[in-house]
Chains A and B, each alone.
Chain A
Amino acid sequence: MAMTLVEKILSEKSGLDVRAGDIIVAPVDIAFVQDGTGPLTISQFQACSFERLANPLTSIIFLDHAAPSASRELSNDHNRLREFAKRNGAQLFEIGDGISHQLIAESYASPGEIIIGADSHTGMAGALGAFATGMGSTDVAIALSLGKTWLRVPESFKVIINGQLSKGVCAKDIALYLVGNLGADGATYKALEFCGDGIAYLTMSERLTIASMAVEAGAKVGLFPSDEITHSYLEHHGRGQKYRPLEPEPDASYERVIKIDATRLEPMVAKPHSVDNTALVRELEDMKVQQVFIGTCSNGRLEDLAVATEILRGRKRHPDTRFIVAPASRQVLSEAIQAGYIQALVNAGAVIAPPGCAACLGVHHGVLGDGEVCLSTANRNFKGRMGNPEAFIYLASPATAAATAIAGCIADPREMM
């Protein structure tokens, strides 16, 4: 029987001929934690009396969630992680280096690999054709030491994207449309496999945005085939030799097929307090917004800052609307400086936060006040997510975010381009 892309990768990795539903033990190519999940991983690692890492070069610790640290307790956690890395030879990315998933994409992930991270958005590396999935601290502690994990081979949903997005409509709108369509638990335990003529129009940055949101429908991974776009992304990041083409076998069987006509999509938002609570931007115009946030693993890349800059150049944020931008990594920040985006955004009234998760998870860099509304390019809008259960978070694309920062209320970017 023909294999889905997931079955193909997991068969190769486990050395067995596996199908959806099988339980396997497979080698892990890359395992990582961040500063929120890492301390517990170390405790579990020690509780198992483990003494060494199976693969120090691909065992990674990212200090991205509270970066720079927002409190004494978090500083102590950071130090514990730094010490662990030093002692065991794990790789450490410091505060300001960027968000784990962005750095995994820039510097590590390759097609056909198995990647597990103690962070729910690990599935983002599926954009590069890797089987990547989020787990908890204990699972990652075991993987760090044994170099393997157990997995249930997931059934796949086939998501066919046809056509090209129109101007002002972004990959984020595809992701929001998809999650709205599937529901927040519509793909629980499943893999999403993307295909269709439309994916040829999607840059790696856009694929990463879509894959980052797969977990918002409950999926284990959002997987793209590995093609020429993957190839040039890998080359650009100095590991072109890791490229290999990968796609599902023709006639593979899928549990469900979802079709998206990209040409017909419009700017969308997810309303509070769930990601599947979607609506069209034009249905919400005039909703006042006190804070706009552009950043996160979902939309903090150079291309996202470029889209925002295109709209904001020569304009100013609305006086009643704060505007925070957090580049996803040091490389993004540095390229955005060279391209002049940072200057244009600062001129437009933006606060530039350090590369990292920043305001996304409610620890620092933009916690909301009571009753406030934020429009964010993040992947989550749960109650309390940005540090205050009395606040309201709308999710949208970087284009919609830029238009909203200017208008002071939710605005359609197509009218400002």
Chain B
Amino acid sequence: MLRGKAFKFGDNISTDLISPGRYFHLRSDLPELAKHVMEDADPSFASRVKPGDFVVAGKDFGLGSSREHAPLVIKMAGVSAVLAKTAAKIFFRNAFNIGLPVLICDTDKINEGDELEIDLTAGTIKNLSTGAELTFGKIPEVMLKILNEGGLVPYIKKYGDFAL
């Protein structure tokens, strides 16, 4: 069970907004890079987010570059899941690979600051602030397996191969 507060963002949050290219030189210093998470979408995010919280966005979250640093810095900030109407393909796959679930759902039913409770196995999102109940799109089976192992590295270490 995941529980935390919603931080709301709009549509088309690119990887440039999540982890700006001007911090390119920090890519091998992840804790430093993570200090700038979401900086160009909301400069105050990094200082306000708490472990367990959620990034809640509109459509096409994570479009743009293939930088896996984008989901990584979100995860390092303590975020337990990203909720979006749709997500860009490379971001989506990268996020599961590093153990960060991306849940596709109707995020219009979630407001900034709402308290959410998410049951990944049951596929439900409870909005404790409004009482609304949401469901999210089925996580593709391969990705669920990868997520359950904590990401692709632990998955491969365990199975030694793709065990689809």
Q: Which of B24, B64, B68 contacts A74 (CB 8 A)?
A: B24
The distance in angstroms between the C-alpha atoms of A63 and B162, with both chains bound, is 30
Determine if A25 and B25 form an interchain contact, defined as CB atoms under 8 angstroms apart: no
Question: A208-230: which have CB < 8 Å to B?
Answer: 218, 220
In the complex, chain B residues whose CB is within 8 Å of the CB of A185? 59-60, 63, 86, 88
Binary flags per residue of A54-71, CB closer than 8 Å to B gives 1, else 0: 000000000001100011
Smallest Cβ distance from A28 to chain B, in angstroms?
A: 12
Determine if B20 and A389 form an interchain contact, defined as CB atoms under 8 angstroms apart: yes
Does chain B have a CB within 8 A of A383? yes
Question: A337-394: which have CB < 8 Å to B?
Answer: 361-363, 367, 380, 382-385, 387-389
Question: B76-100: which have CB < 8 Å to A?
Answer: 86, 88-90, 93-94, 97-98
Q: Which of A23, A36, A383 contacts B67 (CB 8 A)?
A: A36
Determine if A382 and B97 form an interchain contact, defined as CB atoms under 8 angstroms apart: no
Does chain B have a CB within 8 A of A189? yes
A4-12, A136-144, A247-255, A263-271 - interface stretch: A136-144
Give the size of the chain B interface in residues (CB under 8 angstroms): 43
- Chain B residue nearest to A388 in the complex (CB): B22
Determine if A136 and B24 form an interchain contact, defined as CB atoms under 8 angstroms apart: no
The distance in angstroms between the C-alpha atoms of A66 and B64, with both chains bound, is 18
Question: B11-53: which have CB < 8 Å to A?
Answer: 12, 14, 16-17, 20-22, 24-29, 40
Known contacts A136-B68, A136-B94: A49-B157 contact under CB 8 Å: yes
Known contacts A48-B153, A185-B63: A384-B22 contact under CB 8 Å: yes
Does chain B have a CB within 8 A of A146? yes
A37-45, A84-92, A193-201, A404-412 - interface stretch: A37-45
Q: Mostly helix, strand, loop or mixed at chain A's interface?
A: loop
Does chain B have a CB within 8 A of A334? no
In the complex, chain A residues whose CB is within 8 Å of the CB of B66? 37, 118-120, 122, 134-136
Binary flags per residue of B152-164, CB closer than 8 Å to A gives 1, else 0: 1100110001101
The distance in angstroms between the C-alpha atoms of A387 and B142, with both chains bound, is 36
- Chain B residue nearest to A38 in the complex (CB): B27
- Chain B residue nearest to A66 in the complex (CB): B24
Determine if B152 and A138 form an interchain contact, defined as CB atoms under 8 angstroms apart: yes
The distance in angstroms between the C-alpha atoms of A361 and B60, with both chains bound, is 20
Determine if A40 and B89 form an interchain contact, defined as CB atoms under 8 angstroms apart: no
Determine if A218 and B88 form an interchain contact, defined as CB atoms under 8 angstroms apart: yes
In the complex, chain B residues whose CB is within 8 Å of the CB of A48? 153, 156-157
The distance in angstroms between the C-alpha atoms of A150 and B20, with both chains bound, is 29
Determine if A135 and B27 form an interchain contact, defined as CB atoms under 8 angstroms apart: no
Does chain A have a CB within 8 A of B148? no
Does chain A have a CB within 8 A of B101? no
Q: Which of B21, B90, B93, B161 contacts A361 (CB 8 A)?
A: B21
The distance in angstroms between the C-alpha atoms of A201 and B104, with both chains bound, is 41
In the complex, chain A residues whose CB is within 8 Å of the CB of B151? 138
Binary flags per residue of A294-312, CB closer than 8 Å to B gives 1, else 0: 0000000000000000000
Does chain B have a CB within 8 A of A77? yes
Determine if A152 and B153 form an interchain contact, defined as CB atoms under 8 angstroms apart: no
Smallest Cβ distance from A72 to chain B, in angstroms?
A: 8
Q: Which of B17, B26, B86, B153 contacts A382 (CB 8 A)?
A: B17
Does chain B have a CB within 8 A of A188? yes
Smallest Cβ distance from A115 to chain B, in angstroms?
A: 14
Determine if A139 and B97 form an interchain contact, defined as CB atoms under 8 angstroms apart: yes
Q: Which of A135, A136, A139, A362 contacts B22 (CB 8 A)?
A: A362
Does chain A have a CB within 8 A of B130? no
Q: Which of B20, B26, B89, B94 contacts A384 (CB 8 A)?
A: B20
Determine if A218 and B20 form an interchain contact, defined as CB atoms under 8 angstroms apart: no
Determine if A152 and B164 form an interchain contact, defined as CB atoms under 8 angstroms apart: no
The distance in angstroms between the C-alpha atoms of A37 and B27, with both chains bound, is 8
Of listed A118, A135, A185, A363, residue having the most chain B CB within 10 A? A185
Known contacts A36-B67, A385-B21: A136-B97 contact under CB 8 Å: yes
Binary flags per residue of A6-50, CB closer than 8 Å to B gives 1, else 0: 000000000000000001010000000000110110001001110
Does chain B have a CB within 8 A of A76? yes
In the complex, chain A residues whose CB is within 8 Å of the CB of B152? 44, 138-139, 142
Determine if A77 and B27 form an interchain contact, defined as CB atoms under 8 angstroms apart: yes
Of all A-B residue pairs in the complex, the 8 with the closest CB atoms, nearest first, are: A136-B94, A136-B68, A185-B60, A73-B25, A362-B21, A120-B66, A382-B14, A382-B16
Pairs A–B under 8 Å by Cβ, sample size 22: A23-B140, A25-B162, A36-B24, A37-B68, A40-B27, A47-B157, A48-B153, A65-B24, A73-B26, A119-B65, A120-B64, A122-B66, A135-B66, A136-B94, A138-B153, A150-B164, A188-B88, A218-B89, A384-B20, A384-B21, A385-B16, A385-B21
- Which positions in A face B, CB cutoff 8 Å? 23, 25, 36-37, 39-40, 44, 47-49, 65-66, 70-74, 76-77, 80, 118-120, 122, 134-139, 142, 146, 148-150, 152, 184-185, 188-189, 218, 220, 274, 361-363, 367, 380, 382-385, 387-389
Q: 19 extra interchain contacts, Cβ-Cβ under 8 A, other than A47-B157, A73-B28, A380-B16?
A: A36-B65, A48-B153, A48-B157, A70-B24, A72-B25, A74-B24, A135-B90, A138-B94, A138-B152, A142-B156, A150-B162, A185-B88, A218-B63, A362-B16, A382-B17, A384-B16, A384-B20, A387-B21, A389-B40
